[in-house]
Amino acid sequence: MKPDEFEQDLQCQLRRRVPGEWRGEILEAAQAAARERVGPQEEEHGWCFPSWREWFWPCPQAWAGLAAVWMILLGFQLATASAPSAMARRSPSSEVRMALAAQRRELARLLDVPADPAPVPRPTVPGPRSELILSPKV
């Protein structure tokens, strides 16, 4: 039997009405299933948003492990965050600065690049272009 023939056969059949007593039974069963699905907390408040336990329940061990990792990372961060060392606080001496400048010049000479490149000019931002001339009121 082809699908079109099946549909035509269905259209030709008479449809019977559902008995009235069935309607009440079906509605009661649906309402009972809805009450089972909604917990007592949701019935009190009138909302169906899951509680925080339902969000974390699928795998509480994974959440506990994630919390432990964060605590270890926080402890490691606090343990390694110390005051800057004395070497980091001191500015380099003039000898060190001169040696660094000499190294830069030598590197520039080896790479055939100018030692002190010209600074890049900043683009100028045009000012307002108002041509309105205000005349004093007399």
Model pLDDT, residue 15: 80
User: CA-based Rg of the chain, rounded to a whole angstrom?
Assistant: 41
Q: Is residue 134 part of a domain?
A: no
- Its domain, for residue 65, covers 3-74
Q: What is the domain count for the chain?
A: 1
Q: Is residue 91 part of a domain?
A: no
What value does the mean pLDDT take over residues 27-35?
88
Q: Has this prediction a pTM greater than 0.95?
A: no
* pLDDT tens-digit series, residues 45-99: 555 566 766 776 778 888 889 999 999 999 998 888 776 665 566 777 888 889 9
Q: Is residue 92 part of a domain?
A: no
What value does the mean pLDDT take over residues 20-45?
76
Q: Is residue 61 part of a domain?
A: yes
Model pLDDT, residue 72: 95
